Structure 1
Amino acid sequence: MSMSHGNRTKERLVVVGGDAAGMSAASRARRLKGPDELEIIAFERGHFSSFSACGIPYWVGGDVADRDQLIARSPEEHRARGIDLRMRTEVTELDVDGRRVRSRDLESGAEEWTPYDKLVIATGARPVRPPLPGIDAPGVHGVQTLDDGQALLDTLSRTEGRRAVVIGAGYIGVEMAEAMINRGYEVTVVNRGTEPMATLDPDMGRLVHDAMEGLGITMVNDAEVTKILTGEGGRVRAVVTEDAEYPADVVVLGIGVRPETALAEAAGLPLGTHRGLLTDLAMRVRGHEDIWAGGDCVEVLDLVSGSERHIALGTHANKHGQVIGSNVAGGYATFPGVVGTAVSKVCDLEIARTGLREKDAHRAGLRFESVTIEATSRAGYYPDADPMTVKMLAELRTGRLLGVQIVGGEGAGKRVDIAAVALTAGMTVEQMTSLDLGYAPPFSPVWDPILVAARQAVSALRRTTP
């Protein structure tokens, strides 16, 4: 079915969400089909389009001077390319049977229905805000959008005190803790887990813990926040756990994000165990021919474990958008899945992981061996050779690589890409030992740390396999 406008017919694509996945999809579809064939209307409830959420901690910390540097494409640039992008407009309802969406202009309050032929849901994720007393008090900030980042900076500029408490120690929590240290705040991180960075095994998380304390950050692990206390004017004044109270002039939530799928759920669209939308390999919502979804609001296939995961990263969102845009415009593209690669840093310490942790491998019912090695980023005699710890998991009997975690100095983080490629290719650790990796003393020792770990894994497997 197509919409008739006077005496001509053209298809209409409606996109809900104006960041990475939504606008990549719109842009790709526009490149493949002109305005006379395909009309594109996109809705974004915030003030910004196509921005880098991953850059927010670096903007807050002062590494990135200007907010506009995080904007890949402004609303005006999208409109100039023939995309009717409506900012500060929130979609409040998806009517799947009627093939239309209801939206509200956040400035005027005006509501209207917009019919579609094809729909893209790219509603992103929202920071987890546990229902604690005081969680919505002024001075408590999540950081997911540029609007959030701006609100936090506004608070920092108005706040006299210099005590910051970060709740949670995942990527965002750790990066925001460093950003607040860079701004001259006294920082305490309150973390539920035994060590920061639950995306690593605890033995590797310990290395991150030590680095954070080296920066002057107070790490409080195994601590559950019970409430947030407010003072004059209702502003935040402390974070309370079962055992202690931590004074706070500003609180940053780094507890992770959840898929923003309330609209999709209300419309009866299929959600997975992590509350993310379920799609096929073409990123089409399962059971719905003309609806696609991508970015932080979907679940993706983990190629190592074979189960669905929720991973909120700009790399995936942009790839999803490319795939969706191609398919909407009548082409064919797929997104096969992920291996779960991520990198981060605290000061000079680089943190990387891909594939499964020990607990993921146990949960997937896999029998495995894990090895941990110490190495250096360059030849030991070359100046500035930084120490590096590499942990590798390999499956018993098959020898298949299952996961790699790396924590170390400069040059450690991006080495994880070698492992990400090996995982995607289904390589064994034995095959990895003969990989032809680039070598010169400024870049690595004769045996690259990844290869040293692979050799150790081969030895460990030989010892345990009868």
Structure 2
Amino acid sequence: MNMNAARGVPGKRERLVVIGGDAAGMSAASQARRLRGAGELEIVAFERGHFTSFSACGIPYWVGGDVADRDRLIARSAEEHRARDIDLRMRTEVTEIDVAGGRVRARDVDSGAESWTSYDKLVIATGARPIRPGIPGVDAPGVHGVQTLDDGQALIDTLARTRGRRAVVVGAGYIGVEMAEALINRGYEVTVVNRGSEPMSTLDPDMGRLVHRAMEGLGITMVGDAEVTKILTGEDGRVRAVATEDAEYPADVVVLGIGVRPETALARAAGLPLGSHDGLLTDLAMRVRGHENIWAGGDCVEVLDLVSGQERHIALGTHANKHGQVIGTNVAGGYATFPGVVGTAVSKVCDLEIARTGLREKDARRAGLQYVTATIESTSRAGYYPNASPMTVKMLAERRTGRLLGVQIVGREGAGKRVDIAAVALTAGMTVEQMTSLDLGYAPPFSPVWDPVLVAARKAVKAVGQPA
């Protein structure tokens, strides 16, 4: 029996324990505190790192010099959280969850001291961990992953000390592409080595090919269909090159941009339910399935894809903050749900904007959907207006019904955020024919008379009506 827990004891405050001090965890803690005062709810939060409530998405722009100061990426400091009656314990790592006993074991990272803390309600917001390939040399000095502010600072320090100007980025997803831009901005010769044939596997290959060409036009060397087999080091032990089966690419610094996986080792050891992507499974209230007093949110969970109806793992700060708001409301005795996502993301490399929402072709096939595609080229403004820039829009629609399934956009200024039109249409379950009547804003400096997204929708309507 858990003698320390406050369950059902008159005059005792409930205790909420939060594992993870970034977006989801501290949003949950802050929302719970807003709804319930310190006299009603004790909140204890554990964070193993040096920083809390920071923007991991902003790290490439800090490394590249667009954001001058690290602290600008911190939304709320530990001191600010503590001033709101949240007992935030930094540099403290939770090493075990005792579900039956209603407690967690935590270890002080610096001293090694361990202690147990009981809970009445638990929030798991352990985030995601960067994928590090198990290859020789991956832990050599000069090889960096980028997930936390500590990681970003370590990379910046390496760049400041390194005499050479050759960088290799391993992986060409969002992280890899954004880090390639950051290194270009710092004056490095950049090579991107990618396992896939085209960068940005979140796009269909035909759209990824546009990104490939644009990156090469920016002076980035793109190497596709290449598996990194080892990282070579010099006599000083530092990285000197990245090797594939066919070639070696000289490197004074290496950045791993392969992606992330849910950080759910604690949850797995505690016997909590995980999905096919190793993320925690929750209900619509973000409560861990089968556990009344445990919630989870952020990059450690799987979410419902509203288009395919399947569970997905998507590591984005926008979702994490929404999860935290939902969890905090429910922990405090209110009611909120997180219905799911349509998979919207936007990024850039220098002046190239890259956006997607909904399903790719392979996602639609995996879900058992029959579909048509429509790809168009248009411009960001009226063709006669100065500085109109080209963009390509690809649209997927369900065969026969015409239901919108997905949109991908690659272009220059004004291209990326147009994906939000499609994200709303997907959420509303619109057909491409319905989209053609959307009353979008128009003026020559902002759009042609027919917005590029609507041009793609018109072409998709014709494709839907054609025989299979």
Q: Which residue of 2 aligns with 1:170?
A: 173
* Matches of 1:88 and 1:323, distance apart in 2: 26
| SS of residue in 1 equivalent to 2:236 | helix
From 97, 115, 125, the counterpart of 1:122 = 125
The Cα shift of 1:158 comes to: 1.6
The Cα shift of 1:7 comes to: 7.9
From 240, 244, 253, the counterpart of 1:241 = 244
List per-residue Cα deviations over 1:177-235 (Å, max 9, x = no partner).
Answer: 01001111111000000100000001100111111111111000000000111113321
Q: Name whichever of 275-284 and 234-243 sits farther off.
A: 234-243
* Matches of 2:422 and 2:7, distance apart in 1: 52
From 115, 119, 130, the counterpart of 1:112 = 115
Q: Name whichever of 205-214 and 333-342 sits farther off.
A: 205-214
Which stretches of structure 1, 4 residues or longer, exceed 6 Å deviation after superposition?
A: 4-7
TM-score w.r.t. length of structure 2: 0.98
* Matches of 2:331 and 2:346, distance apart in 1: 32
* Matches of 1:6 and 1:201, distance apart in 2: 57
Q: Which residue of 1 aligns with 2:331?
A: 328
From 249, 256, 259, the counterpart of 1:256 = 259
* Matches of 1:376 and 1:161, distance apart in 2: 40
| SS of residue in 2 equivalent to 1:176 | helix
Amino-acid identity (%): 85
Aligned length: 465
Aligned partner of 2:343: which letter? Answer: G
Q: Which residue of 1 aligns with 2:375?
A: 372
* Matches of 2:103 and 2:320, distance apart in 1: 24
The Cα shift of 1:456 comes to: 0.2
The verdict on how the C-alpha distance between 1:224 and 1:428 changes in structure 2, with shifts beyond 3 A counting, is same
| SS of residue in 2 equivalent to 1:113 | strand
Q: Which residue of 2 aligns with 1:100?
A: 103
Q: Which residue of 1 aligns with 2:404?
A: 401
Q: Which residue of 1 aligns with 2:227?
A: 224
Q: Which residue of 2 aligns with 1:299?
A: 302
From 354, 363, 369, the counterpart of 1:360 = 363
* Matches of 2:93 and 2:46, distance apart in 1: 7
Stretches of structure 2 that go unaligned for 5 or more consecutive residues are none
Is the 2:7–2:120 contact (alpha carbons within 8 Å) kept by the matching residues of 1?
no
List per-residue Cα deviations over 1:257-300 (Å, max 9, x = no partner).
Answer: 00000010000000101100000000000000000000000000
Q: Which residue of 2 aligns with 1:151?
A: 154
From 126, 135, 140, the counterpart of 1:137 = 140
Q: Which residue of 2 aligns with 1:75?
A: 78
* Matches of 1:279 and 1:230, distance apart in 2: 44
The Cα shift of 1:464 comes to: 2.4
Is residue 39 from structure 1 mapped to residue 42 from structure 2 by the alignment?
Answer: yes
The Cα shift of 1:20 comes to: 0.3
Stretches of structure 1 that go unaligned for 5 or more consecutive residues are none
From 37, 42, 49, the counterpart of 2:52 = 49
* Matches of 1:14 and 1:129, distance apart in 2: 30
From 302, 311, 315, the counterpart of 1:312 = 315
* Matches of 1:223 and 1:231, distance apart in 2: 23
From 280, 283, 301, the counterpart of 2:283 = 280
From 424, 444, 466, the counterpart of 1:421 = 424
TM-score w.r.t. length of structure 1: 0.98
| SS of residue in 2 equivalent to 1:295 | coil
List per-residue Cα deviations over 1:327-359 (Å, max 9, x = no partner).
Answer: 000001000000000000111111000000011
* Matches of 2:117 and 2:270, distance apart in 1: 16
* Matches of 2:115 and 2:161, distance apart in 1: 38
